[in-house]
Amino acid sequence: MDFNDILQIVVSPVTAAFALAAIGLNFHYGLTGLLNMGQAGFMLIGMYGYAISVSHGLPAWAGLIIAIVGAVLFALLLGWPTLRLRGDYLAIVTIAAAEIVRIVGRSQWLKEWTGGNTGIRGKDFKDPFESLSPFPDKLIRIGPWQFHGNAWWLLTVAWILVALFALLFWRLKSSPWGRVMRGIREDEDAVRSLGKNVYSFKMQSLVIGGVIGALGGIVFAHSQAVSPDSMSRTTTFWIWTALLLGGAATVFGPVLGTCLFWALFVLIRQVGPLMLPNLDGTQVEPLALAFVGLGLILLIVFRPQGILGNRREIAING
Amino acid sequence: MAEIPSFANVEAKPGSTKPDPILIADGVMRSFGGLVAVDVKHFEAQRHSITALIGPNGAGKSTFFNLLTGFDMAQEGHGTFNGSPLKGMSSAQVARAGMVRTFQLTKALSRMTVIENMRLGAQQQSGENFARALLSPLWKAREQEITAQAEVLLERFKLIEKRDDFAGSLSGGQRKLLEMARALMSKPSMLMLDEPMAGVNPALTESLLDHIVALRDEGVTVLFVEHDMHMVRRISDWVVVMAEGRIIAEGDPHEVMKDPAVQDAYLGAHHDADLFEERS
């Protein structure tokens, strides 16, 4: 067994990308009680927005703006019909919309732009970001961690983003704005009766969490490539698991949850074949996924508030 | 202390006009499918008084309440509050205009503390704007004002010891008190109470009634829905009786029950209610 792999995955850019997505989801669910079942869709919008723009010659900052505007529009589009209705409708619409984005992205119809099911190769859009890297272009070892220079650059930026958005969450949660959001999470009619425009607040939450998810998508794309099938329904449920594991409505819950989630995922992938020697290579990944599902069930039954959460403040079944 | 208006010159008949109405509704109709839930020709609530809205179960009281407070939309009719039209106003706008409601099933925000519940009731907190929320100096001063105001109200409603407890840990009666105190945070000119005494123990009921009377004496207009005629007689200045969606009678709380139409509506309904209870 190789603990080094676990150490690598915990700080890797993929983990940071998921941590960002989980922080975004924490705005939705932890703070406002919105059931967004399509966070992977926001990530996809972010990575397509950035990668398509940059691979067609736009500068990186323009790609970033397009990705953010895309996520804002996506949130407005999803929220407009559903946020006036009961929470379940948002869940249904987001899960479907995220799939629509993925399926349109991988279809041959827009192949010229999205690259179809193979997606967009990393070398088509990574250059502008990687050219800013202050790290030398070779393998660098710091402590137990060994990454290529570009990966060091990416994970530095990604974890700074994670820290910034955790800080943003902390600031907003304890502000009057966050108080209205928490009120909506508890009972939106009560908040309405106190003169707050609930629809507008819910929309703000959906937009902010969605934009953070899109930034997570851009980080993910830089760590691998744009591939629509890496952002399916499963991805959304990974993000949910990570958020609930760490503790919804807490500042560090989504970050801790994501790190632990990936550490456990890698651990199971390593321990599985040792425990079950006649497991073949293709069965390891599904085994790990089955454990994720089991873990989510156990979590909701035994510790619905997650590791850092206060059970009195938030639990999945109130 | 506001002067309590006299109802001496008000006619005791459905849809009677009042000398100084704060809330007026005209031709309000709401039906669900084929069922007409509310069909009120004319309704006025006198300023600075306590008006009780009574009627048997299913009379449309709560639906009428929802229509007045913007929680439901009438198919026909219009109303004015304090001289401004209610038509097209959202529930939040109605609340900001000064007509704040409570709910029959108490909506205390359980997983927030009592003081947070109270703060949420305040208006004009610019920190509720996303961008301003990021800079605490912009809203800290107002937050302190709000907190001081909330503590005075909590003191008055005897909830100050519970200040930092989660609202979910309060008893049913305390939640009713909290909901009323929270509604007062915005300094409303009219308080709409949907069955404020439901599920409250007798001792707390007394204190709730005293609070409602005290609020009227301070100049808040109160409209409340209630089943218990004893409570209604004790505190209300005027009673409006609804049955089958219409206003069937209005009058002095001590006289209105003598109206045969009211007795008919009530006895019929009570008869049904008893039967139902026996069966279940």
Q: Which residues in chain B are contacts of A195 at CB distance < 8 A? A: 92-93, 95-96, 100, 123, 186
pLDDT in tens, B42-62: 999 999 999 999 988 888 999
Tell me the shortest Cα–Cα distance from A275 to chain B, in angstroms.
44
- Chain B residue whose CA is closest to A311: B111
Residue with tokens 């009195």: A312
Residue by residue, pLDDT tens for chain A (318 residues) are: 578 888 899 999 999 999 999 999 999 999 999 999 999 999 999 999 999 999 999 999 999 999 999 999 999 999 999 998 888 899 999 999 999 999 999 999 888 899 888 999 999 999 999 999 999 989 999 888 989 999 999 999 999 999 999 999 999 999 999 999 999 999 999 999 999 999 999 999 999 999 999 999 999 999 999 999 889 999 999 999 999 999 999 999 999 999 999 998 888 888 888 888 887 778 888 888 888 888 888 888 888 888 888 776 654 444
Rounded to whole angstroms, the Cα distance separating A210 from A71 reads 6
* Same domain, yes or no: B103 and B205: yes
In a domain, A38, yes or no: yes
Rounded to whole angstroms, the Cα distance separating A74 from A105 reads 15
In a domain, A209, yes or no: yes
Q: Which of B238, B232, B260, B263 is nearest to B251 (CA)?
A: B238
In a domain, A296, yes or no: no
In a domain, A201, yes or no: yes
A178 and B133 within 8 Å at the Cβ level: the answer is yes
In a domain, B70, yes or no: yes
Q: What is the DSSP letter of B161?
A: G
Q: Which of B251, B192, B259, B200 is nearest to B228 (CA)?
A: B200
Q: Which of A139, A209, A151, A203 is nearest to A14 (CA)?
A: A151
B134 and A171 within 8 Å at the Cβ level: the answer is yes
User: What is the count of structural domains for chain A?
Assistant: 1
* Same domain, yes or no: B157 and B221: no
Tell me the shortest Cα–Cα distance from A205 to chain B, in angstroms.
10
Q: Give the pair of three-digit tokens for residue A216.
A: 């997570």
In a domain, B267, yes or no: yes
* Same domain, yes or no: B30 and B145: no
Query: What does DSSP say about strands B99-101 and B190-194: parallel, antiparallel, or unpaired?
Result: parallel
Q: Which residues in chain A are contacts of B108 at CB distance < 8 A? A: 190
Q: Which residues in chain A are contacts of B111 at CB distance < 8 A? A: 182, 185-186, 312-314, 318
* Same domain, yes or no: B198 and B162: no
- B92: nearest CB among A183, A185, A195: A195
| Residues whose CB is less than 8 angstroms from the CB of residue B161 and which lie 6 or more positions away in sequence, other chains included | none
pTM for this model (two decimals): 0.91
Which amino acid is located at A164 in the chain?
L
In a domain, B54, yes or no: yes
Q: Which residues in chain B are contacts of A202 at CB distance < 8 A? A: none
B96 and A195 within 8 Å at the Cβ level: the answer is yes
Chain B residues with a Cβ under 8 Å from any Cβ in chain A: 69, 71, 90-93, 95-96, 100-103, 107-112, 116, 119-121, 123, 125, 127-130, 132-134, 136, 139, 143, 166, 168, 179, 182-183, 185-186
Q: Which residues in chain A are contacts of B116 at CB distance < 8 A? A: 179, 182
Tell me the shortest Cα–Cα distance from A135 to chain B, in angstroms.
33
Residues present in chain A in total: 318
* Same domain, yes or no: B206 and B265: yes
Report the side by side order of strands in the sheet with B35-46: B35-46, B21-32, B76-81, B84-85
Query: Which residue, B142, B169, B196, sits at the end of a domain?
Result: B169
User: What is the count of structural domains for chain B?
Assistant: 2
Rounded to whole angstroms, the Cα distance separating B256 from A260 reads 68
In a domain, B11, yes or no: no
* Same domain, yes or no: B235 and B121: no
* Same domain, yes or no: B40 and B80: yes
Q: Which of B216, B168, B11, B84 is nearest to A314 (CA)?
A: B168
* ipTM at complex level: 0.88
In a domain, A290, yes or no: no
B182 and A314 within 8 Å at the Cβ level: the answer is no
- A193: nearest CB among B95, B129, B166: B95
* Same domain, yes or no: B100 and B193: yes
Q: Exposed/middle/buried for A108, CB within 10 Å: 0-12, 13-18, 19+?
A: exposed
In a domain, B181, yes or no: no
pLDDT band at B4; cut points 50, 70, 90: low
The residue range of the domain holding A107 is: 3-232
- A204: nearest CB among B110, B127, B130: B130
* Same domain, yes or no: B135 and B256: no
The residue range of the domain holding B201 is: 21-108+188-279
Q: Which residues in chain A are contacts of B93 at CB distance < 8 A? A: 195
Residue with tokens 């008000």: B10
In a domain, A279, yes or no: no
Query: Which residue, B169, B201, B220, sits at the end of a domain?
Result: B169
* Same domain, yes or no: B235 and B274: yes
For residues B89 and B97, the answer to whether their CB atoms sit within 8 Å is yes
- Strand, coil or helix: what is B44? strand
* Same domain, yes or no: B100 and B154: no
β-partners of residue B250 are B240
A-to-B residue pairs, Cβ atoms closer than 8 angstroms: 104
Query: Average pLDDT of B140-156?
Result: 96
Q: Give the pair of three-digit tokens for residue B254.
A: 């001590």
In a domain, A153, yes or no: yes
CATH number assigned to the domain comprising residue B266:
3.40.50.300
* Same domain, yes or no: B87 and B101: yes
